[in-house]
A and B are shown apart, each in its own frame.
Chain A
């Protein structure tokens, strides 16, 4: 291993991120082939003395990265003692032939679970960020520097999210993080982002009731998804629904959303006995009793609909049971807020035609922007059947807004970027523009789609214009007086207009 100083030109150096530690590979490298367009993530080292466990699962389609003939892994600290400054050199991606100083890349953190229960949803978002970074680098990066992704795996473990967030910000020095899916993971990382003053883009629909200076919420707030969906069902086109079942998984998002919906329905003159609320545990699979309860509730002579905040894996057996028990969409439509194209990929949708989903984006939306995005995404991922979904679009909007804000601010310093982000407007994939509002939420169109027999969702209704995300719901008694505005001089996430003070609920 002496070849490093002696050989001329110096042997290529590759820095590989493996979980917490940075390792350095050096030796005779004939050719390196990066893991398809995902810079800085993983290299397979054939016949090396140490096996590398990549920080993400290796997929069969991508395994033949050969070319590295010999090599050795040493911990960074060892190398840095020996070679000083050279050790900081990072050789990323296909350009593994010359050294680029680490300072010349801007690091972007990706904090999505790649294993555990949430991997089903979050892995796609990790790929989306890598795809966007790749696209941006093709355009020349940001501020003249290339972007570099740092991917960590919080493994669907909520406390681990906080640890990994801290690692990304303080050890890897990322300028921005795209991550989290569940609300509990977001709540877990919040203190870290506040303490270390970094930026988190959160791309998933959530229950609202939050606005933090360091977080930008590009997913839907309840008024951008749940309330328009209910409005549609109450309208004549939606079937003039009079009776409501609020069916959810037992955790914070369904509980808060259902609280808001219940208050909203009561304010619209729905009688309390025409609302049924029911919760089931995570991963619930035996829906017989629930579905028959829905049928029973629906046989009261009034048009009935189900508003489903059932999350993740539990949806497949729920829809299977609905289909098998013959609950047709024309009798009792089910509108879901967590079911998208990805979830439907695991079900035969023929018995489900006509059930609804409310989102801000559907793969089937026919705009040139969307067609372009789908084409590039499929080329990137190497699968021409891969679906796209709403949280992906939210990631796209967040990423592009961040790029624009950094260019506007001319720096990656968090405070400047946070200020610059407000008012930034970027094209979304549905043919319009989404703007980041002073409450750190964005403007979005709302679409109601009906499930088709090919597993896609066809838009049957959309809001006439864009809807601004409402962080503090107007329908909950303790948050209706709160507003959020992160612009100076207010700079407050929970300003109480009744008392005129900045403070939490009820203060």
Chain B
């Protein structure tokens, strides 16, 4: 008897093995006509084919759809068969997308790329969402859940229920609940369920929910569901309004940090030394181009260093811009101290020369400066989207400011600089070599503009015109904050940034900027020396 049972068990196990082994093969054969369906012309047909593939529920479909959306699938003209193709020496190497087996080669004339548009891409993400919902990979599940929430397909409710039951990660389970609620709202389930779903969505809040609920509110007939949706909308809108205020402050701080970075070098050359330096923007540009050159070298020689490219570019940009600054001071500006008008014209000429030199050297086109991985993308904080590059620039600008303060207040060079700018003859008689201090101070201001360029290369064009966009703003900040006072520059930059961002949503970008300028002009009328005026005899000198 025992023997019989064990034999029976063996038999069962063997059977199961046979069946299991047969499944993938059978699937691959079943998939073949469906995969070839992708080769039909027309986006509508392509979307249908994607849907048909997804309906099989076979996990093998996911990589096929993936390669469809990345544009790696091709159709052979002779028999309309679909292949995954990779570029080989002479033409393309074909593989069967379902089984991954080799399918020979083809020249580029024999096959056509299957073109996808946004609608097809969307169909693919929906399909992938349902296919990877049970994936063992947590990251894939998270993506899939988010996709399901965005699409809210009523046909998937039962699948979602299964997934919710199985899900171990709390975050993903919450997203799945939302996806289920979104799907329920679009289905024909009873009103009570729908209202429950609305409450689920309302607790989540945020823009995505707002979009889905607005659609529901607009499409559903009068009744309990519509009222519930309308109530939920009012409450979500109220919360979002508060977040909008926070968002404006955040954007203002971000704009302020950019202004601070651009202006901080000028606060030295113009603010401390009194040189109206129109070539300041070009120092920023030199810094940005230094970053480009560094990145280009890294791309070609040591790609693994890419995430460090900015760290490497920083000291180099400081040196390059600082050196150019010292040169300008030695060759032009030192002959023009005390003659602001001539300085203005001469440095403007220098700025044109630098621009055209860069244009001649690097060409007039934008140069690509990549974002290292830690500066790409964004994260959500409540209903705020904070982009990493902006966040790091805020941090960076404050670090630069602190470092500069430290140099000016705590080093002997800083002491000499302050002495020279406050009372030149006295400093000179104390044995300070004032011409050298002038040159180095100008170099310091320019070098800081250079490192600002490294940061700005992350958010703006790297083109010969980069600097021009910042020169007016920089002067605005320095004059507003108070000439000769670094704290003024800090406060000025953030005030103007935040004011600008609060005006922009109401007045628009163009009028907003005009209003800020008008405000500054009026302010300067009232307080000619800016926010933080220097006091004492030094001012009169």
A contacts, CB < 8 Å to B: 57-60, 114-117, 119-120, 123, 236-239, 250, 278-281, 283-286, 288-290, 292-293, 295-296, 298-302, 313, 316-317, 320-321, 323-326, 329-331, 333, 342-343, 345-348, 351, 354, 450, 452-453, 458-461
Contact status A119-B247, CB under 8 Å: no
- Residue in B44, B119, B377, B468 whose Cβ sees the most chain A Cβ within 10 Å: B119
Given contacts A115-B364, A280-B508, 8 further A-B contacts (CB under 8 A): A116-B465, A119-B464, A120-B366, A279-B510, A323-B376, A324-B389, A346-B366, A460-B43
- Using Cβ atoms and an 8 Å threshold, which residues of chain A touch B366? 120, 313, 316, 343, 345-346
Give the nearest-CB partner of A458 in chain B. B115
Contact status B385-A281, CB under 8 Å: no
- Using Cβ atoms and an 8 Å threshold, which residues of chain A touch B118? 238-239, 329-330, 333, 354, 450
- Using Cβ atoms and an 8 Å threshold, which residues of chain B touch A288? 251, 254-255, 387, 390, 501
Q: Residue B119 contacts which of A115, A236, A279, A459 (CB distance < 8 angstroms)?
A: A236
Contact status A320-B207, CB under 8 Å: no
CA of A316 to CA of B355 in the docked complex: distance in angstroms? Answer: 20
Contact status A250-B510, CB under 8 Å: yes
Q: Residue A316 contacts which of B258, B363, B460, B468 (CB distance < 8 angstroms)?
A: B460
- Residue in B247, B254, B255, B359 whose Cβ sees the most chain A Cβ within 10 Å: B359
Q: Residue B214 contacts which of A57, A301, A323, A453 (CB distance < 8 angstroms)?
A: A301
Q: Residue A324 contacts which of B363, B376, B469 (CB distance < 8 angstroms)?
A: B376
CA of A284 to CA of B44 in the docked complex: distance in angstroms? Answer: 39
Contact status B377-A278, CB under 8 Å: no
Residue B294 lies at the interface, judged by CB distance under 8 Å to chain A: no
Residue B23 lies at the interface, judged by CB distance under 8 Å to chain A: no
Segment touching A, from B2-10, B307-315, B367-375, B483-491: B367-375
A contacts with B: majority SS: loop
Contact status A281-B461, CB under 8 Å: no
**B394-416 interface (Cβ within 8 A of A):** none
Residue B59 lies at the interface, judged by CB distance under 8 Å to chain A: no
Contact status A301-B215, CB under 8 Å: yes
A-B contact pairs, 20 of them (CB 8 A): A59-B363, A116-B465, A120-B366, A236-B44, A286-B254, A286-B255, A286-B258, A288-B251, A295-B207, A296-B207, A301-B211, A313-B465, A323-B376, A330-B118, A345-B366, A347-B368, A450-B117, A453-B70, A458-B71, A458-B115
**B127-173 interface (Cβ within 8 A of A):** 150
Contact status B461-A317, CB under 8 Å: yes
Q: Residue A59 contacts which of B208, B360, B460 (CB distance < 8 angstroms)?
A: B360
Give the nearest-CB partner of A316 in chain B. B461
- Using Cβ atoms and an 8 Å threshold, which residues of chain A touch B336? none
CA of A57 to CA of B361 in the docked complex: distance in angstroms? Answer: 9
Residue B463 lies at the interface, judged by CB distance under 8 Å to chain A: yes
Give the nearest-CB partner of A346 in chain B. B366
Residue B231 lies at the interface, judged by CB distance under 8 Å to chain A: no
Residue B505 lies at the interface, judged by CB distance under 8 Å to chain A: yes
Contact status A293-B505, CB under 8 Å: yes
Q: Residue B207 contacts which of A117, A284, A299 (CB distance < 8 angstroms)?
A: A299
* Interface 0/1 of B206-230, CB less than 8 Å to A: 0110111111111000000000000
Contact status B359-A326, CB under 8 Å: no
- Using Cβ atoms and an 8 Å threshold, which residues of chain A touch B371? 320, 348
Chain A nearest CB: distance from B316 CB in Å? 20
- Using Cβ atoms and an 8 Å threshold, which residues of chain B touch A290? 504, 509
The interface on chain B, measured as residues whose beta carbon lies within 8 A of the other chain's beta carbons, has a size of 66
Residue B121 lies at the interface, judged by CB distance under 8 Å to chain A: yes
Chain A nearest CB: distance from B383 CB in Å? 11
Contact status B125-A301, CB under 8 Å: no
Contact status A346-B387, CB under 8 Å: no
* Interface 0/1 of B44-83, CB less than 8 Å to A: 1000000000000000000000000011000000000000
* Interface 0/1 of B18-42, CB less than 8 Å to A: 0000000000000000000000000
- Using Cβ atoms and an 8 Å threshold, which residues of chain B touch A459? 115
Q: Residue A279 contacts which of B218, B464, B509 (CB distance < 8 angstroms)?
A: B509
- Using Cβ atoms and an 8 Å threshold, which residues of chain B touch A301? 211-218
- Using Cβ atoms and an 8 Å threshold, which residues of chain B touch A250? 510
- Using Cβ atoms and an 8 Å threshold, which residues of chain B touch A286? 251, 254-255, 258
Chain A-chain B contacts (Cβ-Cβ < 8 Å), number: 166
Contact status A346-B215, CB under 8 Å: no
CA of A371 to CA of B396 in the docked complex: distance in angstroms? Answer: 47
B contacts, CB < 8 Å to A: 43-44, 70-71, 115, 117-119, 121-122, 125, 150, 207-208, 210-218, 247-248, 251, 254-255, 258, 355-356, 359-361, 363-368, 370-371, 376-378, 385, 387-390, 459-465, 468-469, 501, 504-505, 508-510, 513
CA of A65 to CA of B43 in the docked complex: distance in angstroms? Answer: 54
Lowest 10 A-B CB distances belong to which pairs? A346-B366, A301-B215, A301-B214, A299-B211, A119-B364, A57-B360, A324-B387, A460-B117, A280-B509, A299-B207
CA of A298 to CA of B464 in the docked complex: distance in angstroms? Answer: 35
Chain A nearest CB: distance from B119 CB in Å? 5
Contact status A57-B359, CB under 8 Å: yes
CA of A239 to CA of B118 in the docked complex: distance in angstroms? Answer: 7
- Residue in A238, A296, A324 whose Cβ sees the most chain B Cβ within 10 Å: A324
CA of A214 to CA of B64 in the docked complex: distance in angstroms? Answer: 56
Give the nearest-CB partner of A387 in chain B. B365
Contact status A237-B43, CB under 8 Å: yes
Q: Residue B125 contacts which of A58, A116, A330 (CB distance < 8 angstroms)?
A: A330
CA of A295 to CA of B365 in the docked complex: distance in angstroms? Answer: 30
Give the nearest-CB partner of B217 in chain A. A301
Contact status A289-B251, CB under 8 Å: yes
CA of A430 to CA of B178 in the docked complex: distance in angstroms? Answer: 48
- Using Cβ atoms and an 8 Å threshold, which residues of chain A touch B210? 299-300
Contact status A289-B501, CB under 8 Å: yes
CA of A59 to CA of B359 in the docked complex: distance in angstroms? Answer: 9
CA of A247 to CA of B371 in the docked complex: distance in angstroms? Answer: 25
CA of A321 to CA of B387 in the docked complex: distance in angstroms? Answer: 8
CA of A405 to CA of B213 in the docked complex: distance in angstroms? Answer: 61
Give the nearest-CB partner of B357 in chain A. A57
- Using Cβ atoms and an 8 Å threshold, which residues of chain B touch A57? 356, 359-360
Contact status A120-B360, CB under 8 Å: no
Chain A nearest CB: distance from B45 CB in Å? 11
Contact status B119-A237, CB under 8 Å: yes
Contact status B211-A324, CB under 8 Å: no
Q: Residue B115 contacts which of A120, A330, A460 (CB distance < 8 angstroms)?
A: A460
Contact status A317-B460, CB under 8 Å: yes
Contact status B207-A324, CB under 8 Å: no
A346-B364 contact in complex given A279-B510, A329-B118, C-beta closer than 8 Å? no
Give the nearest-CB partner of A120 in chain B. B364
Contact status A324-B377, CB under 8 Å: yes
CA of A321 to CA of B463 in the docked complex: distance in angstroms? Answer: 18
CA of A14 to CA of B518 in the docked complex: distance in angstroms? Answer: 56
- Using Cβ atoms and an 8 Å threshold, which residues of chain A touch B356? 57, 115
CA of A57 to CA of B70 in the docked complex: distance in angstroms? Answer: 41
Contact status B214-A119, CB under 8 Å: no
Contact status B215-A285, CB under 8 Å: no
CA of A296 to CA of B214 in the docked complex: distance in angstroms? Answer: 12
- Using Cβ atoms and an 8 Å threshold, which residues of chain B touch A238? 117-119
CA of A331 to CA of B125 in the docked complex: distance in angstroms? Answer: 12
Give the nearest-CB partner of B465 in chain A. A117
- Using Cβ atoms and an 8 Å threshold, which residues of chain A touch B377? 324, 326
